[in-house]
Amino acid sequence: MHPQLQELHQDHVNLAKVLRLLEKQLADLQSGEHIDLEVLSEIVDYVQTYPDRVHHKREDIIFSVYLERSSTSRDLVERLMEEHTLLLDKTRNLYVHIEQWRQDSPVPRGRMVSIIADYLLMQWDHLNLEESSVLELLHQELTPADWARIEATMPLSNDPLFGDKVLQRFENILGQLSGY
């Protein structure tokens, strides 16, 4: 498998860890337990910082090259690209609601449960679809020349949570992720 696809897969593995931590926060919220709003906020900040702004852009570059060369599964790949925009909007919406809650605004607990549950469902569906269908398709269809084009335009990236240097603002969730 091409190194770019391996990096995307590792990003998916890492995001899955963060999503499982978000699921734990959701379960605590549903059961009426105290949740760590700082960790919740950091989770969403991380998703905005890396998966939404870097990882999805990298996928979109690869997907665009793929769509130029092949019509196989075109609808699926285009759907995933559209979902990148929808996920960005959903992440922003979740962040706004979390920040309102952190500032003691009247966001009902049930509303937060619904927003987080909906967000998690879309994230998992998207991630699982890419893992189960698209990565292998890209591996099979893209040529060395395609990968050379992709690499020439691919932005360099460093995951601020799982990369070489963890940003200080994500250290709380890094500690929480030890069990995931």
pLDDT in tens, 36-75: 888 999 999 999 999 999 999 999 999 999 999 888 899 9
Residue 56 in tokens? 């999805």
Is the pTM above the cut of 0.75? yes
- Residue percentage of the chain with pLDDT more than 70: 99
Alpha helices, DSSP H, located in the chain: 3-30, 37-47, 56-69, 74-102, 109-129, 135-141, 144-153, 171-176
Mean pLDDT for the chain?
92
59 within 8 A of 130, measured Cβ to Cβ: yes
Residue 176 pLDDT: 85
Distance (Å, rounded) from C-alpha 87 to C-alpha 122?
Answer: 8
Of the candidates 80, 51, 57, the residue with the CA atom closest to the CA atom of residue 154: 57
111-131 average pLDDT score:
96
Of the candidates 25, 14, 32, the residue with the CA atom closest to the CA atom of residue 115: 25
Q: Which residue segments constitute the domains of the chain, with CATH numbers given?
A: 3-179 (1.20.120.520)
Please report which confidence band the pLDDT of residue 127 belongs to, taking 50, 70 and 90 as the band edges: very high
Query: Residue 26 is which amino acid?
Result: L
Residue 180 pLDDT: 61
Q: How far, in whole angstroms, is CA 102 from its chain's centroid?
A: 23
Torsion of CA 127, 177, 179, 13, to 10 degrees: 30
Residue 69 pLDDT: 86
Distance (Å, rounded) from C-alpha 94 to C-alpha 55?
Answer: 19
Residue 78 pLDDT: 96
What is the number of alpha carbons within 13 Å of residue 13 lying toward its C-beta? 8
4 within 8 A of 135, measured Cβ to Cβ: no
